[in-house]
Structure 1
Amino acid sequence: MARASSKKPPGTSPPDPMPSRVDPCVATLVDKPPTGPQWAYEVKWDGYRLAVHVEPGRVRVITRGGYDWTRRFAAIAAEARQLGHESMILDGEAVVLDEKGRSDFGALQRALGRKPSLHDPREILFFVFDLLYLDGHDLRRLPLRERRRLLEPIVAGREGVIRLSEEVEAEGEEFFRIACEHGLEGIIAKHRDKTYHSGRGDWWQKITCKRRDSFVIVGYEPSEAMPRALGRLLLGARKGDGLVYVGGVGTGFTHEMSTELRKLLDGIVTRTPAVSLRRKNVIFTEPRLVAEIEYRAWTDDQKLRHPSFKGVRERADDATVYSLD
């Protein structure tokens, strides 16, 4: 491990205990960016939210739902050891970039997959946007502007797998317009004077070019035109302690993706549906997989309008599944 830096952030003494896990701050979806000098703007990355815990003798990579995925993000963990501090918690997003520098969730899924891929796992980058703990000091009680001041010397200018998620000096509405024109998912606005709060709140706001959320795959309809392929995926959202049907998606996957996904789903077919649904030619599956879906809006009866499939993940990180509560 690299030698720890002697530079200490402002804080209290004795040292603060390092938390074993921090529930992440989650941005609230709003229709337009907030305005004013108190707001900072960043690109909204399309990947996996991670917290990297650097401790004496070990590094842990923790998902938003609290799972230890250090092995799956081994390159990030290895580089985190070399950042020059004995202990810290970095908050950020793991992504794979396309040829235009945009985060591509499907490419990230392929890089993490068990099957051979065109994408090397070492292509996975970790864009850091917050620093929650540093060398014995819990920074969550500091305003964002102070946390960023301490973060930037650690990761700014790096060209490895760990990089800084840059703040963009621009008016919010202009930045959002440009982000959408360049095919980005959207932007994030963060209040510079707020301390770090776990959970969802208006101190972080997200403005998306299109809506995008995660839904549980509860079954499928076979393709009538292509044998061994999918016609539609059937989707569920969380409500209370269970799942409710929110519609199906039949676009966004290639024929090859469709046949591979059907093969995967045929291995988890069940006679006990996870949702209440009466429909012919439906094959229900155990609710183990989650689909990333881009869509326009919701209908009056709580169904997805104009959905498009973007990727699939295991349901291990259930915190990301859309909730109707």
Structure 2
Amino acid sequence: MTKPPKAKPLLQDADKPVRSRPRRPRDPTQPNLLLDPMPNRIDPCLALLKPKPPKGPQWAFEVKWDGYRLSVHVEPTGIRILTRGGHDWTHRFPAIQQAALWLPVGTAILDGEAVVLDEQGRSDFGLLQQSLGGRGGKKVSKEAIFMVFDLLYFDGHDLRNSELDVRRHLLEDLVPAEGKGDIRLSEEIEADGDQLLVSACEHGLEGIIAKRLDSPYRSGRVGDWLKIKCVQSDSFVIVGYEKSTAARGQIGSLLLAARKGDGLVYAGSVGTGFKERDALQLRVMMEKITLKTPPLPYTGARKNVVWIQPALIAEIEYRAWTDDGKLRHASYKGLRDVQDNAAIYEVD
């Protein structure tokens, strides 16, 4: 079981033993309800990026977690853990799998995020990547925990048409607040959105999520869920790198691209955030997919550029955009795995 971090502004009562609750016997006076077929897979509801938190009592707030979106299926035959793209990663999260077996429920689909926490209790995408062995790695993560924030199917009943408030009520009964196991509840926070965002940024978090309490669960980016970030972080395609004999891994900077329609457009470069191991792994991967010509229109004046096939997707943190559409103050966070099905940033 994952050990809690030493300092934990987001976590409490870490010394209490983790115990799964006993399964509740069925009340024989309860009528038998028709059962809904259990979906094999559900496309996730995605949060729409907004610059400011929404106002009004119809909105609930949570911390924004920085990891891999997963759905955990508790089925009669066992546990399945699926990525956002539908790939089976059960074998890569054995602790989460075991914790799901202990849940007091016969069948369920839980929606959440696999994360690794730093010593301050903050989710760290780089630490999660390391625990899995990097992009394309085959390692089993012993450090990842599952922060669950929605319940889509529960004991034979499809909950997607139920309001979020109802789904959360059932979820909080299934996964109690302030739990310290490998499946933990992403708690709703009663606060003014603007004040919560300020507090989240002061604690070094990525941002917050706002969700409509009266909304059903709808797949895709439909606006029922909103994300408000402290620092911008998005996925970009690596299209080349600038050689440097002085830099780690001989990578001076990575050249990045965003999507525009059916093609790619140059979005600037990133030259910070690399650890030595990151740079060396990147160099090995990029040397296998080099190109003689740029894979996109490029009119820059950079020297010693090695172009590569647009096959690697990097998560990049940045502060803003320049007037000519380039990233400002960019920092490398890690590579996204293809099976994570990360959404590449799109420009108009």
TM-score (norm 2): 0.85
Q: Which one of 163, 176, 181 corresponds to residue 202 of structure 2?
A: 181
Partner residue in 2 for 1:203: 224
The runs of at least 4 consecutive aligned structure 1 residues that moved more than 4 Å come to 2-8, 10-13
**Alpha-carbon deviations, 1:201-220, whole Å to 9, x = none?**
22211110011001111211
Alignment correspondent of 2:80:
60
Partners of 1:122 and 1:161 within 8 A in 2 = no
**Consecutive unaligned residues in structure 1, runs of 5 or more:** none
Correspondence 1:281 to 2:281:
no
Correspondence for 1:297? 320
2 CA distance for matches of 1:189 and 1:138? Answer: 23
Whole-Å Cα distance in 2 between the matches of residues 42 and 255 of structure 1?
Answer: 34
Residues 235 and 246, structure 1, Cα contact 8 Å, conserved in 2: yes
Give the Å deviation of 1:141: 0.6
Question: Are 1:221 and 1:281, in contact at CA under 8 Å, matched by a contact in 2?
Answer: yes
Paired with 2:149 and 2:181, the residues of 1 have a C-alpha distance of 16
| Corresponding pairs, count | 321
Paired residues of 1:12 and 1:137 also in contact (CA < 8 A): no
The structure 2 residue matched to 1:102, chosen from 114, 122, 130, is 122
Contact 1:247 1:303 (8 Å CA) reproduced:
yes
Task: Measure, in 2, the Cα distance between the counterparts of 1:99 and 1:120.
Answer: 21
The TM-score with structure 1 as length reference comes to 0.90
Q: What does residue 258 of structure 1 align with?
A: 279
Distance 1:179 1:322 in 2: 24
Match for residue 138 of structure 1?
158
Specify the alignment match of 1:93 in structure 2.
113
Is 1:318 aligned to 2:345, yes or no? no
Q: Which moved more, 1:178-187 or 1:220-229?
A: 220-229
Name the structure 1 match of 2:144.
Answer: 124
Contact 1:106–1:311 (CA under 8 A) maintained in structure 2: yes
Which deviations, in whole Å up to 9, do the C-alpha atoms of 1:250-296 show, x marking residues without a partner?
A: 11113443233212322332336432335542112222221110112
**Separation in structure 2 between the aligned mates of residue 318 and residue 273 of structure 1, nearest angstrom:** 24
* Structure-2 change in CA distance of 1:220 and 1:7 (3 Å): farther
For residues 148 and 113 of structure 2, the distance between their equivalents in structure 1, rounded to whole angstroms, comes to 7
Distance in 2, matches of 1:316 and 1:285, equals 20
Tell me, yes or no, if the aligned pair for 1:288 and 1:314 is still in contact at 8 Å. no
Name the aligned partner's letter for residue 97 of structure 1. L
Secondary structure of residue in 2 paired with 1:163: strand
In structure 1, how many angstroms separate the alpha carbons of the residues matched to 2:77 and 2:293? 46
The alignment-based identity, stated in percent, is 57
Q: Is residue 111 of structure 1 aligned with residue 122 of structure 2?
A: no
Tell me if structure 2 keeps the 8 A contact 1:11–1:137. Answer: no
Alignment match of 1:158 (pick from 179, 189, 192): 179
Q: Secondary structure at the match of 2:317?
A: strand
Do structure 1's residue 240 and structure 2's residue 257 form an aligned pair?
Answer: no
**Is the CA contact (8 Å cut-off) linking 1:56 and 1:86 kept in structure 2?**
yes
**1: distance between equivalents of 2:22 and 2:38?**
19
What letter corresponds to residue 209 of structure 1 in structure 2? Answer: C
Question: Whole-Å Cα distance in 1 between the matches of residues 324 and 174 of structure 2?
Answer: 49
In structure 2, the residue matched to 1:84 is 104
Q: What's the Cα RMSD here? A: 2.6
Aligned to 2:9: none
Distance in 1 separating the partners of 2:32 and 2:212: 24
Of residues 40-49 and 281-290 in structure 1, the stretch that sits farther from structure 2 once superposed is 281-290
Q: Which residue of 1 aligns with 2:215?
A: 194
Cα pair 2:83 2:339 within 8 Å, conserved: no
In structure 2, C-alpha distance between the alignment counterparts of 1:112 and 1:120, rounded to whole Å? 6
In the alignment, the residues of structure 2 paired with residue 50 and residue 193 of structure 1 have an alpha-carbon distance, to the nearest angstrom, of: 23
CA deviation string 1:110-147 (max 9, x = no partner): 001169x9x98221010000000011111011111100
- Per the TM alignment, residue 6 of structure 1 is displaced from its structure 2 partner at its CA by 5.2
Does residue 55 of structure 2 align to residue 35 of structure 1?
yes
Is the partner of 1:176 in helix, strand or coil? helix
- Partners of 2:104 and 2:156 lie apart in 1 by 14
